[in-house]
Structure 1
Amino acid sequence: MECIVHFEVHHLHEIKELRGLIFLEEGQTPSEIDFLTMFEEMGYKLRLEDKENLVFTPVEPGANYSKIRVKRLDTGEKSYKEDKELRSLLGNLLPGESRPL
């Protein structure tokens, strides 16, 4: 099964959004080793700084980025993620209660 990893690379003056790919057995989730291997194949030498938020930091001094943060994983399965901005917009456009005309 393929797992697309959506992540951010935090540079000094910008954040770049990139994607990587991890191959897994069916029903498996990526491990720390899976992430580190994927990043190393992409040229990033990292260590896991924050396991809960999947934040990685460079191990090489002088790297031109401060951290990499995994934003989401896409395994092709349907998932729901609430869009708070869309909900707010719709809440302001649609009437709050029905009333007769």
Structure 2
Amino acid sequence: MECIVHFEVHHPNEIKELRGLIFLKEGQVPSERDFLTMFEEMGYKLRLEDRDNLVFKPVEAGANYSKIRIRRLDTGVKSYKEDTELRSLLGNFLQGESRPI
């Protein structure tokens, strides 16, 4: 199974959004080692700084970026996330109860 990793590289003057690829067995989720190996193959030498937010910091002094943050993982499985703003808009446009004027 392929897992596309969407991440951002924080440079001093810009943030670049990039993608990487990890191959996993069916039903498996990427581990810290999987992420570090993927980044190393891309030329980034990192350590995991914040496990909850998937933030990695460079281990080499003089790196031209300050951190890398994983934004999302795409395994091809559809996931549902409710759009609360859309729901609010629809709620305002669709009349629920008839109210007398």
Q: Could you tell me the TM-score, scaled by structure 1's length?
A: 0.85
Name the CA distance, whole Å, in 2 between partners of 1:18 and 1:9.
Answer: 7
Percent same amino acid at aligned positions? 77
Q: Residue 6 and residue 84 in structure 1: after superposition, are their counterparts in 2 closer, same or farther (change >3 A)?
A: farther
Name the CA distance, whole Å, in 2 between partners of 1:63 and 1:53.
Answer: 21
CA offset digits 1:19-76 (Å, max 9, x no partner): 1000000000000000000000111100000111110000011111100000111100
Larger radius of gyration: 2
Name the CA distance, whole Å, in 2 between partners of 1:49 and 1:91.
Answer: 41
Matching residue of 1:9: 9
Q: Could you tell me the TM-score, scaled by structure 2's length?
A: 0.85
Runs of 4+ aligned structure 1 residues displaced above 6 Å come to none
CA offset digits 1:71-101 (Å, max 9, x no partner): 111100010133455455x25862564547x
Q: Structure 2: which 5+ residue stretches go unaligned? A: none
Aligned residues: 100
Alignment RMSD: 2.1
